[in-house]
Amino acid sequence: MSLIKFTNKGIYCEQGRFYIDPWQPVDLAVTTHGHADHVKWGNKAYLCHELTKPILHQRLGTDLVIETLPYNKQIDINGVKLSMFPAGHVIGSAQIRLEYKGEIYVVSGDYKVEFDGISTPFEPVKCHTFVSESTFGLPIYKWQPQDIIFNQIRNWVSDNRDKGKTSVLVAYSLGKAQRLIKNLSDYCEIYVHNSIANLNEGFVKAGVDLPDTIRITPELKKEALQQGIVIVPPAMAEGKWIKTLQQAATGVCSGWMQVRAGRRWRSADAGFALSDHADWPGLLSAIEATEAEKVFVTHGFTATFSKYLNEIGIASEEVKTQYGNEEEEEPTPTTIEAN
Amino acid sequence: MKRFSELIQQLETSNKTNDKIAALVDYFSNADDRDKPYVIAMFTGKKPKRPVNTVLLRSWATELSGIPPWLFQESYSSVGDLSETIALVLPPPEKITDRKLHEWIKDLAALTGKPDEQKKSFILDAWNSLDTPERFIFNKLISGNFRIGVSHKMLVNALAKQSDTDSNKIMHSIMGKWQPEAITYEELIEGAHVNTDNSWPYPFCLAYALEMQPEELGDVNDWQAEWKWDGIRGQIVKRNGELFIWSRGEELVTDQFPELQFLKDELEDGTVLDGEILSIKDGNVQVFSILQQRLNRKTINKSQLNDAPVGFYIYDLLEYETQDVREKTMSERRTLLEEIVSKLQTKDVALLSPIITFNSWAKLAEIRQGSREMNSEGIMLKRKDSLYHSGRKRGDWWKWKINPYTVDTVMIYAQKGSGRRANFYTDYTFAVRDGEKLITVAKAYSGLTDKEIKEVDSFVKRNSLEKFGPVRTVKPELVFEIAFEGIAESKRHKAGLALRFPRILRWRKDKKAEEINTLEDLRQLLNSTLS
């Protein structure tokens, strides 16, 4: 009998009577990470990694019942042994390991295998059944090491400065923004949008070593911004505020920027293929390392990736979930002027 | 090639014309002189012969990347561009080469006719020494399809700016016959080759669509009205005993139309005519779908010559007795043109495009209603004192088209787009009702805003019924009004008919799938155009 079921509310563990990343309200939601497509409002209780707690408070409110776990600590829920392992996706992201009568399941949530400088590095976990994402599950997605990408970004910023342009990087407030801050703060001053600043505050309180940034307010001098880097979430990228900057040049940081069509679709001035998801080789190496006999493929290029796994001798099935819309569902940030 | 790769990235990451022109000017100021003519050739669509076909390229790339062919196909569907797909799926390069663009192009040209094994080892070695952006360009050099959002006009403007030369002169120069390996950048800019070249055409004068009331154009006596013919705009050049026929796409199509060869003997040297290539039978212009049977064929058989005889309706005169007469007024040019046509021995093949007489805008509007019966698309309005401009210039020439045909359809298939829209479902197939069934009548991928595309994309993702490779069958629910320019019988289509230039006019959110048109409606329309 399978330890997990894919139901219309989410991934369900019947023996343990809890859901993992459900998209409809349930009693206990085990939460892999804080992106909007993986955690919804309205669950009676949440169980997540300790660094995901401040994110949930930030995004869903303070009147929540939240239990936390550190990585590598095992607890028992209705006879199911549950523990969390780093997924390397964003700060606090966790793979959920379930064990029942010797059967081991791992639900990865979202993950990447490259160390990004700030999230606890991905750790492969041996299991019988692995639930993997496949956001970039096509062989066209092969990331360059992040040092190369950060060099490209620095060159671009320097070029913009010379031309009197303001560098605006577009990045998710959770994950990508902190990664940029960590890796670029030694280069110049970083100005962040409210939604990012709020998350950062939560992280710092929880003990994350995050470099200082400046919250964008209407009082800030546009000339100062022009000398630094401005980071805004995607929902702000085409907003009015950007237009008030001194000749804003926008650079989108996303795995989708790997493909020319992705760059043009976003009508950005530059695209940097910097992703918090595993690329094609990353997905394959991670799956291999689990030594799983069975792999369920959730959001992304599910059909293709799962077909490929079967061809190379790893039994796999695609699963329909509601994950994979982190961008569309990121809460609309408040405008700069409103604060 | 690194410098060229940089240029391509600059051109691709900006959507502002000024930025693109600046990038081009910068490139032509700094790049290797020997590379420049090749870049101009590429941007003006001068395709070198393909040294390696795409089937081979695909199979080598698939082999080298160690993925199954179906996975390559899926990747291609997602990327939307073969050269780019190959560049991305290949393993990272193991070495670095820094060769000039023209060196690569010459080496590629030298591969033509060589055994496949030799081609393969050259291509694989190149792939292994180039980074992803350069590989993409290298692949484009092989396939010759370099469409990068640089229009001829933009390129010409950049070259004019860089070299401080008149843009019309450059337009002439780059449109003529020249080979990148046999000309220097300087020569090309100076137009050293064009005087000796008998074939060079003038840039076409183009019209804007009339979006105001014709009354706003003022006095009717200032305007000449003609039918707007629905064929292939062409330019006929006769110089030094040679005849050339250019299409608007700047292709030489001389040999496709044997009916027009008599002009070689009957036109004076130094004559250039602007007009429309049409199928004219028994004095009547036939619908475009009939002319279409004659296009892009290497050989033409008797029945095609008989069913779709070609003629030329002449609009204008650009060169008269070897003199460029584009600076004369249209009335003056028309007088000269009438003289030329009257001297032709062969009658009824090359004709003056008739002038419509009218004394008020209201009268002209009435005449315009009869456009379809003439197999015309509407009316052209040209100011009598207008010069023959290069390209599009607002104010002197207007096209006053009749409204397109429309049909309400339901979307039944969706496919991801290519290029800019590769990750969204943007290509749709539409059906009309045929009794209980739905029958496909058109495929279209334009006419929606980015916001609507996202909305439809999300509908497709939630309402897919089946998958056939990249195609999704979609619940027949969304109704779209499709506009089209013509309708023709077609044995290849299940519906037995084909729409010409179908595009989405609007998304009819107010209509239900039950309310769409029927196949019978379209059949009736088809019969009315043929009778």
Most B-contacting residue of A23, A143, A159, A260 (CB-CB within 10 A), to test interface: A260
More confident residue, A274 or B466: A274
CB-based contact A191:A220 (threshold 8 Å): yes
Q: Give me the catalytic one of B140, B228, B238, B382.
A: B228
Tell me the three state secondary structure of residue B240: coil
Q: What is the DSSP string of B355-372?
A: EEP-SSHHHHHHHHTTGG
CATH of domain A5-140+276-329: 3.60.15.10
pLDDT value at A327 more than 60: no
Most A-contacting residue of B6, B20, B70, B71 (CB-CB within 10 A), to test interface: B71
Most A-contacting residue of B64, B73, B79 (CB-CB within 10 A), to test interface: B79
H or E stretch covering B278: strand B271-281
CB-based contact B11:B26 (threshold 8 Å): no
pLDDT value at A219 more than 80: yes
Average pLDDT of the residues in B313-317: 97
Tell me the three state secondary structure of residue B300: coil
In this complex, the residue of A138, A140, A263 whose CB is nearest that of residue B12 is: A263
Tokens, residue B67: 């993925």
pLDDT value at B399 more than 70: yes
Write the ipTM. Answer: 0.91
B228 labelled catalytic: yes
Chain A nearest-CA residue for B89 = A140
What is the least distance, in Å, from the CA of A329 to any CA of chain B? 13
Strand partners, B482: B407, B504
Per-residue confidence band for B452, with pLDDT thresholds at 50, 70 and 90: confident
Most A-contacting residue of B19, B62, B73, B74 (CB-CB within 10 A), to test interface: B74
Proportion of chain B above pLDDT 90, given as a percent: 53
Give exposure, B487-510, as e/b (b: 16+ Cβ within 10 Å). bbeeeeeebebbbbebbbbebbee
Chain A partners of B13 at a C-beta cutoff of 8 Å?
263, 268-271
User: Of A118-122, A177-181, B90-94, B253-257, where does mean pLDDT reach its minimum?
Assistant: B253-257
Q: What is the mean pLDDT of chain B?
A: 88
In 3D space, the residue among B119, B141, B176 whose CA is nearest the CA of residue B48 turns out to be: B141
Topology at the third CATH level for domain A146-272: Rossmann fold (3.40.50)
Answer yes or no: pTM beyond 0.90. Answer: no
Q: Which amino acid is at B414?
A: A
What is the least distance, in Å, from the CA of A311 to any CA of chain B? 9
pLDDT for residue B512:
87
Q: What is the mean pLDDT of chain A?
A: 90
Under an 8 A CB cutoff, do A140 and B422 touch? Answer: no
Q: What is the DSSP string of A240-282?
A: HHHHHSSSEEEEEESGGGGSHHHHHHTT-SEEE---SS--HHH
CB-based contact B337:B299 (threshold 8 Å): no
Chain A nearest-CA residue for B132 = A258
- Please give the domain boundaries of chain B with CATH numbers for all domains: 2-143 (1.10.3260.10), 205-401 (3.30.470.30), 405-530 (2.40.50.140)
Contact status of B6 with chain A (Cβ, < 8 Å) = no
Chain A partners of B71 at a C-beta cutoff of 8 Å?
138-139, 304, 308
In this complex, the residue of A256, A260, A301 whose CB is nearest that of residue B12 is: A260
Domain ranges of chain A: 5-140+276-329, 146-272
> Residues B353-397: pLDDT tens digits?
999 999 999 999 999 988 988 889 899 999 999 999 987 778 899
Under an 8 A CB cutoff, do A260 and B88 touch? Answer: no
CA A195 from chain center: how many Å? 15
Rounded CA-CA distance A106/A109 in Å is: 9
Chain B partners of A259 at a C-beta cutoff of 8 Å?
78-79, 84, 88, 422-423
pLDDT value at A180 more than 90: yes
What is the least distance, in Å, from the CA of A37 to any CA of chain B? 15
Rounded CA-CA distance A224/B74 in Å is: 46
Average pLDDT of the residues in A310-321: 93
> Residues B422-448: pLDDT tens digits?
678 888 999 999 988 999 999 987 678
In this complex, the residue of B14, B65, B419 whose CB is nearest that of residue A261 is: B419
Per-residue confidence band for B509, with pLDDT thresholds at 50, 70 and 90: confident
User: Of B194-208, B264-278, B281-295, B302-316, where does mean pLDDT reach its minimum?
Assistant: B194-208
What is the Cβ-side half-sphere exposure of residue A143, based on CA atoms within 13 angstroms?
A: 29
Chain B partners of A271 at a C-beta cutoff of 8 Å?
13
CB-based contact B201:B183 (threshold 8 Å): no
CB-based contact B100:B1 (threshold 8 Å): yes
Q: Which amino acid is at B523?
A: R
> Residues A63-118: pLDDT tens digits?
999 999 999 999 999 999 999 999 999 999 999 999 999 999 999 999 999 999 99
> Residues B119-128: pLDDT tens digits?
999 999 999 9
What is the least distance, in Å, from the CA of B391 to any CA of chain A? 27
Rounded CA-CA distance B194/B520 in Å is: 55
pLDDT for residue A338:
31
pLDDT value at B242 more than 90: no
Chain B partners of A258 at a C-beta cutoff of 8 Å?
88
Under an 8 A CB cutoff, do A304 and B71 touch? Answer: yes
pLDDT value at A336 more than 50: no
In 3D space, the residue among B58, B138, B145, B91 whose CA is nearest the CA of residue B418 turns out to be: B145
What is the least distance, in Å, from the CA of A304 to any CA of chain B? 7
Proportion of chain B above pLDDT 70, given as a percent: 95
Rounded CA-CA distance B262/B280 in Å is: 16
User: Of B243-257, B390-404, B428-442, B447-461, where does mean pLDDT reach its minimum?
Assistant: B243-257
pLDDT for residue B360:
95
pLDDT for residue B419:
57
Q: Where are the alpha helices (H) located in B151-195, listed in sequence order?
A: 152-163, 167-175, 185-190
- Number of A–B residue contacts, CB under 8 Å: 70
What is the least distance, in Å, from the CA of A131 to any CA of chain B? 22
Chain A partners of B12 at a C-beta cutoff of 8 Å?
260, 263-264
Contact status of B12 with chain A (Cβ, < 8 Å) = yes
In this complex, the residue of B68, B79, B419 whose CB is nearest that of residue A140 is: B79
Under an 8 A CB cutoff, do B71 and A139 touch? Answer: yes
CB-based contact A112:A89 (threshold 8 Å): yes
pLDDT value at B172 more than 80: no
More confident residue, B19 or B149: B19
